[in-house]
Structure formats: structure tokens, C-alpha cells
Amino acid sequence: MHKLQTNTPKKHHWLAWLIGVIVVLGVVLGAAGMYFFNVAVVPGKKSFLGSKTHYAKTSIVYKDQKWYRETKKQRWYMKSATDNLRLDANYIPKAGSKKTVIILHGYMNNKNTMGEYAAMFHQLGYNTLLPDARAHGQSQGKYIGYGWPERYDVRKWGKQVIKKNGQDSQIVIFGVSMGGATAMMTSGIKLPSQVKAFIEDCGYTDVKDEIEHEAQALYNMPAVPRFPLVEILSLINKIKVGNYLGEASAIKMLHHNQRPMLFIHGNKDKFVPTWMVYQNYQASRGPKELWVTKGVAHAKSFESYPKAYKQHVQKFLAKYLK
């Protein structure tokens, strides 16, 4: 009995020490998870994105963006599909056309950064609708959804196109980077029959894949602590946004897609690595085409090959829209 009494305090001391370490570790990991949640999901200036490229006046991108800035636009508004956010979009009509493209921008960009794509589709005979995603541009929102809640917003924008332009509308959904992922995620939900085709440029496979890639590429973060931090970030995202990171999956949605899709990706993309496009392409169940551009970094395919880009888009869509 005497020995038991002398050993018990030591056991209690060891247990208290272990609990203390676990609590401290939990607090540290929780704080780190919140930091990365704010970096990844809360809108604001992102140092890792760098400054916006300034194009030479001789560049087709400069000319197209100048056309976009100067052309007359309609302002469209709607409430978001899953909550009560006010969403904002620019609409540029093409006289006599029943074809409309919904153009989806990338992470921390906005509708006005997509001017060259609006110009290209306008030249191809399309009305162009350029929404600001929730928490971007002039649309409301506290958190970036990476395409997952936005897929229902895109469907609602499509219904607004049909309401304004008529039941004989033909709709294309086009996106770059996060917009490309949003297009792919939209492809897997029930859509109006007027949605005829999709084009995605350098979208990711799912949000968890992309954030794990960025943790390694931007922060040189090894597998540990990357594993617990991304899982904690995912849990925080579930609580605040409504989904775990891995749920926001382009691949999962592409398994349900029966519509035509053109996949575009640069083979030197380090932000959304090129291997992702092959997985996305394999997942889609509808008619599909893949164009991997040589020597091209993230979201630079149009800038690098403007004529070929336009030709690929025109040839692909001519099969499915009249």
C-alpha cells in the first residue's frame, strides 16, 4: 500500500504533463489553421499572387481589354442561390444572337479582368455575361467558395439568361482557373437544357488537392505539418463555409457530366499543376477535347496563343451550338 501511494502522484504528474502538451499543440494547430483559413478563404490582398501583369499596347490582350473597358455594358444583379448575397455581373449583348457565354473569373480576380475573353466570344457571335463570384469584385460575400457554392449561382445566372433572352437561348459556361473549376463543378448538377457546352481553362481537381499543392509550392511545407494543418483548415471551412475541402471536387461533378467540355491547360503550370487536367479530362462523361499548350504557365494560354485559342474554341463550339 505504501508503494502505491508514493507512485500515484508521479503518474498524475505525467498525465497532467501529457494533457498540457496536447492542449498547447491543439491551440497552436488551431491558430495555424485559422491563419491559413484567412489566407486561403477570406477575401483580401494575397501577397503570393503577385502584381497584375501590364500588357504592351501592341498585345492582343491589351487591345481586347481596351475594347472591353470602352464597350457599353448592362448591369445585371441577382441574389445568390444558397443564401441572400447580392451578386453583380456585366452583360454585353451581341445583336441578333441567341448564344450566350457565362464567363467565370479566377481566384481574387473579378469580371473586369476577363475582358480579353469577352472580346473573343463577342467576335464569335456571343452575348457575354461576366459575373463577379461571391466575395469578389462587387458581389457580396465573406468567404471564397472555390466554385462549390458558386456552382448553384452559375446555374441561376443561366436561368436569368433564359428569362431575359428567351427559351431558345443557347448557353456556354466558360471559366479560367477557379472559374474553370467552377465550370466543371457546375457541369455535375441539374441544368437547363439550354446549357449546351463547357470550356474550362486550368481548373483544379478539387480544393483540397489545390490547397495541399499550394502549401507545398508556396510555403515549402513538408508532409508533416501539412497533413494536420490542411485537415484543420478543412474542418474550419466546414464550420464557416459549409463544406469540407475535399467535398468541393471537380472530378466528382465531372462524373455526372454528360455535356461536351473542352479542357485547356498549360504544360508549365505550377499554380494548378498540369497533372490535374488529365484527371479532370478522364472524369468527364460527355464528349470532350483536351488542349495542353506548350511552354505556358498558369492562365496564360490565351495570351500565349491568342489565334490558336480562338480557333480551338470556335471549332469546338461549332459542333454543339448553331
**Domain annotation covers residue 221:** no
CB 238 within 8 A of CB 176: no
What is the predicted pLDDT for the residue at 217? 79
Question: pLDDT band for position 317 (50/70/90)?
Answer: very high
What residues does 127 pair with on adjacent strands?
100
Alpha-carbon distance of 158 to 300, in angstroms, equals: 27
121 or 27: which carries more pLDDT confidence? 121
Alpha-carbon distance of 313 to 291, in angstroms, equals: 10
**Domain annotation covers residue 68:** yes
What is the predicted pLDDT for the residue at 214? 87
Q: Which of 121, 99, 165, 118 is nearest to 322 (CA)?
A: 99
**Is residue 20's pLDDT more than 80?**
no
**Domain annotation covers residue 166:** yes
Count of domains forming the chain? 1
List the end-to-end C-alpha distance of the chain, in Å, as a whole number.
92
From residue 71, how far is each of 91, 130, 213, 214, 251 by CA, in Å?
Answer: 11, 14, 39, 37, 37
**Domain annotation covers residue 17:** no
What is the predicted pLDDT for the residue at 104? 98
Q: Is the dihedral of CA 220, 225, 231, 237 positive or negative?
A: negative
**Domain annotation covers residue 148:** yes
Reported pTM: 0.89
Query: Per-residue pLDDT tens for 21-63?
Result: 565 555 566 677 788 888 888 988 766 666 555 667 777 889 9
**Domain annotation covers residue 136:** yes
Where do we find the cell 463555409? 241
Its domain, for residue 311, covers: 57-206+248-318
**Domain annotation covers residue 5:** no
Alpha-carbon distance of 59 to 67, in angstroms, equals: 13
Task: Determine the number of helices (DSSP H) and then strands (DSSP E) in the chain.
Answer: 11, 8
**DSSP for residue 90:** E
**Domain annotation covers residue 65:** yes
Which CATH number fits the domain that encloses residue 311? 3.40.50.1820
